[in-house]
Amino acid sequence: MKKLNVIHFVCVGGMLTALTVLFQAAPVFLPAIGLVLSPFSTLPIAIAAASNLLLGTSVLFSSAIILTLVSVQEALILLFTTGLLGIVMGALIARKGLLFSIFFSGLSLFLGMIFLTYIVGVPAFVELASSLSTLITLFAFFVFSLVYASIWSIGLKKFINYLKKIIY
């Protein structure tokens, strides 16, 4: 899309960062409802990355810094799952198309989930993985990642088309 000027970049980035932090921190402050709101933190990052990759990266990292003050676990989840999904999906859907977006965003989500489970040891992921064998866990993560990325990519594509209609 168009190259953003600095003031527009900062304003849009700030608004998208605020939305990302609100959605991702929702489980900390609203335990039941927050789990429903938390996945929506992907949307502001994906919108930012679809318009400008630098904007998407800025939104992701500024959101992670702010979330670190609220909950380190939520910041890690943002960096390696929902945020990473948003960056890859937003960047690819605007530049390469839907199938590339689904495959590579699903792959990035899968790798992020493996990282959080087996290397970082985030409790929610470890509890799920400990009840299943490693092979079944990896298969379940991979299938979930592709289905989840497909839903998000199709939804984002429709949302971007809607935004183009009302803006232009």
Distance between CA atoms of residues 45 and 33, nearest Å: 21
- pLDDT, mean of residues 76-90: 95
pLDDT tens digits for 10-29? 999 999 999 999 999 999 99
- Quick one: what percent of the chain has pLDDT higher than 90? 69
Give me the pLDDT at residue 31, please.
87
Total domains in the fold of the chain: 1
In a domain, residue 118? The reply is yes
CATH number at residue 40: 1.10.1760
Give the pLDDT band of residue 114 (cuts 50, 70, 90). Answer: very high
Give me the pLDDT at residue 3, please.
58
Residue 150: is its pLDDT beyond 90? yes
In a domain, residue 1? The reply is no
In a domain, residue 95? The reply is yes
In a domain, residue 132? The reply is yes
Mean pLDDT for all residues in the chain: 91
Give me the pLDDT at residue 49, please.
94
Residue 1: is its pLDDT beyond 90? no
Residue 168: is its pLDDT beyond 90? no
- pLDDT, mean of residues 82-111: 93
- pLDDT, mean of residues 34-50: 93
In a domain, residue 106? The reply is yes
Give the pLDDT band of residue 118 (cuts 50, 70, 90). Answer: confident
Residue 113: is its pLDDT beyond 60? yes
Instruction: Look up the domain containing 141 and give its range.
Output: 6-167
Give me the pLDDT at residue 94, please.
79
